[in-house]
Amino acid sequence: MNMANTTLAEKFRSMEYGVAPEDSAPASAWLDQFQRRFGHFIGGAWYAPAQGGYFETLDPSTGDKIADIARGCAADVDAAVKAARAALPVWQALTPHARARFLYALARQVQRHSRRLSVLETIDNGKPIRESRDIDIPLVARHFYYHAGWAQLREQEFPGYQACGVVGQIIPWNFPLLMLAWKIAPALAAGNAVVLKPAEFTPLTALAFAELCMEVGLPPGVVNIVTGDGSTGEALVVHPDIDKIAFTGSTEVGRAIRRATADSHKKLSLELGGKSPFVVFEDADLDSAVEGLVDGIWLNQGQVCCAGSRLLMQESIATQLTRKLQARMTTLRVGPPLDKTTDIGAIVARVQLERIEGLVARGVSEGASCWQPDIPLPSRGLYYKPTLFTNVHPTSVLAQQEIFGPVLAAMTFRTPAEAVELANNTAYGLAASVWSESVNVALQVASAIKAGVVWVNSTNLFDAATGFGGYRESGFGREGGREGLREYLEPAWFRKAPSLGRGTAAGAEAEAGAGDAHPGDEPPIDRTVKLYIGGKQVRPDSGYSIQCRSSKGVLLGEVPLGNRKDIRNAVEAAGKAQKWASATAHNRAQVLYYWAENLSQRAQELVARLAAVVGRRQASRELKLSVERLFAYAAWADKYEGVVHSPPYRNVSLAMNEPIGTVGVVCPESTPLLGFLSLVLPLVTAGNCVVAVPSVAYPLIAGDLYQVLETSDMPGGVINMVTGKPMELMKVLAEHDDVDALWCYGNEALCATAKRLSAGNLKQVWTNEGRQIDFFNERYGAGRWYLDHACQVKNVWVPYGE
Ligand code: NAI
């Protein structure tokens, strides 16, 4: 069509409009100021790389070189960590208000330079300028504003918590500056100093941000930027003077980082891949759903961790929706990212383009039907057409693997239950989008999908106040919201707790008190307990048992030597009991109160038996505090609630505390009753089912516990107990793919092994870090800190208005 001779109405109908390029001259001038060569930003100044030299960062839309970037080596990382460590006391000595002012100043500065930052982002990454200008950079500013608020309020809102210290942060290339903001803003607000490594394909905006830090006069060393590739990231991960690692990127690297940090006390948060379902019911507004898909899978060329890459359509509307979608796809404009009329820009790098092509080819070879619109692609640069696959089998590579490109895999379902099953049929659990005009169906499905974020009749909405992060192999920890700030804080007492050392048969207090056991308290020798699985007392698979002796060496009884098979059975039983998660909070509280009642009725005999191992004084205290703890968690059951956020859109987001699922628990040795309850109770209060390994010093406690449980209306399978050797049983739990989280109390070696072995399905792990926790002190042994770990926050975005 000849654009010059067409009328406005014709142009409107055809949507064939001319190019509208963004001016890149100011960004180029900025790059020229640095002679297009960037060092590391360490201790508030620029440094040439120690030995790694430079690598090129390219414009993926042309292949042209933009600048030379320092390649960080271990020495560079070490210099940056030292600078951060030195800056920490300076940063922490400031008042909360002073820190808030710096974060506020950074937000202002981002807004002031927003056009330059948008252009730099677009030329480095290939994303359309429309997106970097209207989505990425405004969200960056919003993140710093929001966290300026947390800097101000942190000490009031998190009393007793302290910053982790020096934080290592590694980010990907898909939202370079936004991911930087998601990492740096909460870290600084909490009072940490950071060393951040941007992705090798997209370092420019992080370097531009370093300059903003200088402009606002941020104390040198509070923010350090070291550029480089995966090896630079690895050097940061293994650096001994780092207190926390925050990572966003591929699941594979996340897994490697889990293993690499297992032997340290580094706190860890991982935001990994996804294969998010986009579920469309027959009563949905289909035109809106199609627009949602444009945002869901073609935003940023589909290189989005929460991209709605699996389209699940109700069978009755599948043909109609597919047609509408194809029609819309033919109007998408793939072109130069700096053109304001471009919908789909360039793929970030050749290797990524090849990865997409490879996965698409595999999908075709598996028999799925591939459809692409007949639209032009620029002759130069790395582009890929929007792609729709139909006839996709749920096990296909297209349905299971993160493609990270503009490729949508469509499948059909008949009923809401089938939709949920399909939606949950991947290892991931990052996000989901649900389309239905029925509020009942939409919210029911939103609650059943295992994902950290669910958008109802919307997609890809983000806000700093609403946490973001995954379930299952999409990682753990949240970014944004109160829960995001928690990732950068630790209870001060926990950091200072003494080491357990190599572990003792019973704790110091137990040894001290053991002398005052009454000989008459000791039970008959032949007391034998069983395993407790699925609400039943069962014999162990091995047929072996282990002896349990008093502190004076008297044989008290025998417990089964549980093995791999017993753990597997217990995990299966826990899996079948998951409806506990949907029991009402009131109902869970009632069960806990009833449990307390029954425990106190058996107090005398239980104390008498426990006293033989831990001494009468400790046994009485354990019993008394156990009843108290049951009351405390019964109280929490209907008070540890979610919140409703009001993001700056016509939406509310419901932050719901959801249970994690099946949790393995290795209980403390020295407090057989109180330690067991201190770990198991927060988990079951939150709706999890547990497989617990009771204290190895007094495993007979299992017998006492299940007798009480049996009379307390606790549904079978919610609490399972397998006695045996902690290290052996813990390993089975850590490696079991149906165990969703692991809580492990023990010495350094046990905790490190728990973390390392849990990398397989990336289960969340809580440990005592080999430190001693005083469970007799309510401040340390109970409350929110445990409940926070027992839940994962799911944010459901619900729109309102016409
Ligand atoms: P990646 O996970 O390798 O890179 C992410 C960041 O981690 C980069 O800064 C990189 O330099 C760093 N890194 C790499 N290896 C490391 C190591 N061993 N230790 C510490 N840091 C390390 O992701 P990549 O190779 O760029 O992309 C590969 C695939 O990963 C993509 O096709 C996509 O499927 C997925 N991905 C997912 C992202 C998400 O947000 N979920 C983001 C980026 C990639």
pLDDT 10s digits, 604-643:
999 999 999 999 999 999 999 999 999 999 999 999 999 9
Contact partners, residue 75, CB within 8 Å, separation at least 6: 50, 51
Residue range 194-200: mean pLDDT, rounded: 98
pLDDT attached to residue 325: 98
Verify whether residue 200 is a known catalytic residue: no
CB 386 within 8 A of CB 334: yes
pLDDT attached to residue 8: 76
Q: Which residue puts its alpha carbon closest to atom 14 of ligand 1? A: 230
Q: How far is the CA of 100 from the centre of ligand 1 (A)?
A: 31
DSSP element (H, E) containing 168: strand 166-170
% residues pLDDT > 70 (the chain): 96
The phi, psi pair for 566, rounded to 5°, reads -65, -40
Which residue reads 């029609």 in tokens? Answer: 327
- pLDDT over 90 (residue 551): no
CB 734 within 8 A of CB 664: yes
Q: Which of 73, 164, 213, 305 is catalytic?
A: 305
pLDDT attached to residue 736: 98
Which DSSP state fits 769?
T
Q: How far is the CA of 201 from the centre of ligand 1 (A)?
A: 11
- pLDDT over 60 (residue 45): yes
pLDDT attached to residue 507: 39
Cβ < 6 A, ligand 1 pocket:
170-174, 197, 199-200, 229-230, 233-234, 237, 248-250, 253, 256-257, 272-273, 305, 352, 355, 402, 404
pLDDT attached to residue 5: 64
pLDDT attached to residue 460: 96
Q: How far is the CA of 507 from the centre of ligand 1 (A)?
A: 44
Nearest to 68 by CA among 34, 43, 28, 33: 34
Best mutation site among 253, 347, 356, 397 for ligand 1 pocket (most ligand atoms within 8 Å of CB)? 253
Q: How far apart are the first and last CA of the chain?
A: 37
Residue 508: which pLDDT band, with cuts at 50, 70 and 90?
very low
Residue range 467-492: mean pLDDT, rounded: 97
CB 221 within 8 A of CB 214: no
Distance CA 744, CA 750 (A): 8
Q: Which residue puts its alpha carbon closest to atom 36 of ligand 1? A: 250
Residue range 257-270: mean pLDDT, rounded: 98
Q: How far is the CA of 231 from the centre of ligand 1 (A)?
A: 12
Nearest to 175 by CA among 22, 350, 305: 305
Q: Say what the pTM is.
A: 0.95
CB 262 within 8 A of CB 756: yes
Count of beta carbons in the 10 Å neighbourhood of residue 511: 16
Residue at 403: amino acid letter:
I
Which range, of 44-58, 425-439, 513-527, 753-767, averages the lowest pLDDT? 513-527
- pLDDT over 90 (residue 1): no
State how far the alpha carbon of 165 is from the alpha carbons of 85, 92, 94, 374, in Å.
8, 10, 15, 54
Please tell me the number of Cα atoms within 13 Å of 158 on its side-chain side. 25
Q: Which atom of ligand 1 is nearest to the CA of 229?
A: 11
Best mutation site among 250, 269, 402 for ligand 1 pocket (most ligand atoms within 8 Å of CB)? 250
% residues pLDDT > 90 (the chain): 92
pLDDT attached to residue 514: 38
CB 656 within 8 A of CB 793: yes
- pLDDT over 60 (residue 475): yes
Residue range 339-359: mean pLDDT, rounded: 98
pLDDT attached to residue 38: 98
Residue 517: which pLDDT band, with cuts at 50, 70 and 90?
very low
Q: How far is the CA of 254 from the centre of ligand 1 (A)?
A: 8
Model pLDDT for residues 302-346, shown as the tens digit of each residue: 999 999 999 999 999 999 999 999 999 999 999 999 999 999 999
pLDDT attached to residue 18: 79
Residue 525: which pLDDT band, with cuts at 50, 70 and 90?
low
Residue 513: which pLDDT band, with cuts at 50, 70 and 90?
very low
Residue 237: which pLDDT band, with cuts at 50, 70 and 90?
very high
Residue 44: which pLDDT band, with cuts at 50, 70 and 90?
very high
Q: Which residue puts its alpha carbon closest to atom 32 of ligand 1? A: 404
- pLDDT over 70 (residue 15): no
Residue 587 tokens read as 């109902």
Q: Which residue puts its alpha carbon closest to atom 8 of ligand 1? A: 199
Q: Which atom of ligand 1 is nearest to the CA of 256?
A: 18
Q: Which of 271, 483, 487, 558 is catalytic?
A: 271
Residue range 358-376: mean pLDDT, rounded: 97
Residue 523: which pLDDT band, with cuts at 50, 70 and 90?
low
Residue 565 tokens read as 């098979």
Q: How far is the CA of 37 from the centre of ligand 1 (A)?
A: 24
- pLDDT over 70 (residue 414): yes
Q: How far is the CA of 198 from the centre of ligand 1 (A)?
A: 10
Q: Which residue puts its alpha carbon closest to atom 15 of ligand 1? A: 230
**What is the DSSP pairing of strand 791-799 with strand 453-456?**
parallel
Which DSSP state fits 580?
G
Model pLDDT for residues 273-283, shown as the tens digit of each residue: 999 999 999 99
- pLDDT over 70 (residue 502): no
Q: Which residue puts its alpha carbon closest to atom 28 of ligand 1? A: 250
Residue 632 tokens read as 């405390």
- pLDDT over 70 (residue 695): yes
Model pLDDT for residues 90-116, shown as the tens digit of each residue: 999 999 999 999 999 999 999 999 999
Q: Which residue puts its alpha carbon closest to atom 29 of ligand 1? A: 250
Residue 7: which pLDDT band, with cuts at 50, 70 and 90?
confident
Residue range 434-463: mean pLDDT, rounded: 97
User: Residue 178 class from Cβ within 10 Å (0-12 exposed, 13-18 middle, 19+ buried)?
Assistant: buried
Which residue reads 């902690």 in tokens? Answer: 726
Distance CA 148, CA 107 (A): 9
Distance CA 36, CA 22 (A): 21
- pLDDT over 60 (residue 515): no
Q: How far is the CA of 173 from the centre of ligand 1 (A)?
A: 8
Average per-residue pLDDT in the chain?
95
CB 545 within 8 A of CB 608: no
pLDDT attached to residue 13: 74
Residue at 79: amino acid letter:
A
Q: Which residue puts its alpha carbon closest to atom 16 of ligand 1? A: 230
Residue 650: which pLDDT band, with cuts at 50, 70 and 90?
confident
pLDDT attached to residue 505: 35
Q: How far is the CA of 39 from the centre of ligand 1 (A)?
A: 22
pLDDT attached to residue 52: 87
Nearest to 745 by CA among 573, 577, 488, 507: 507
3-state secondary structure of 328: helix
Verify whether residue 271 is a known catalytic residue: yes
Q: How far is the CA of 251 from the centre of ligand 1 (A)?
A: 8
